[in-house]
Amino acid sequence: MSVKTSSNRFSYDALTALQPTGSVAVTSSGASTNSIPLDVLGAYWNAGDVADPLEFAIVIETTAVGGTTPTFSAAVQVAPDSGAFAAPVAIVTEAITGAGRTVLIVERDDVINALAGALVGSLRLYLTLGGTSPTITYTAYCAPLPGM
């Protein structure tokens, strides 16, 4: 497995991947194959970390899109349970306009507000596809903000 060095306590690896390395093609709306426990992401928010002011990025690397007039929207969702997402709350949503990199910024305060004051639960990425026969090939992961 390849490892991308981060400027934080841990590297990009299986713990920070929302969609596994190696792009995955999807043809319908749905959640990323992985969710991340919020305690793993806590390393980005500890006092003295380079992620001050308490935010990090969800990076989506899109390698291909297809279909007739396709539309793609990515939402970062959190839930108070351990990966079950019985009642997920979207905290950040961004349109994906085609192949390339999309970065969604997640702030700790947004997570805490969505989870009613707690930092216990899970985070995932949810893609909504529209148009006729839309397809998107992507990989996604958590990372420190560029330049932080």
Nearest to residue 61, comparing CAs of 4, 122, 132, 121? 4
Q: Does residue 58 fall inside a structural domain?
A: yes
Asked whether residue 52 is assigned to any structural domain, the reply reads yes
pLDDT level of residue 92 (50, 70, 90 thresholds): very high
Give me the domain span that covers residue 115: 17-143
pTM of the model: 0.81
Specify if 124 maps to a domain. Answer: yes
Q: Does residue 2 form part of some domain?
A: no
Q: 124-133, pLDDT tens digit by residue?
A: 999 999 999 9
What sign does the CA torsion over 41, 46, 51, 53 have?
Answer: positive
Residue 101, SS3? strand
Identify the residue whose tokens are 């349970």: 81
Q: Is residue 148 in a domain?
A: no
Structural domains counted in the chain = 1
Q: Using one digit for the tens of pLDDT, what is the confidence trace for 26-45?
A: 889 999 888 888 877 766 55
CATH number of the domain to which 126 belongs: 2.60.120
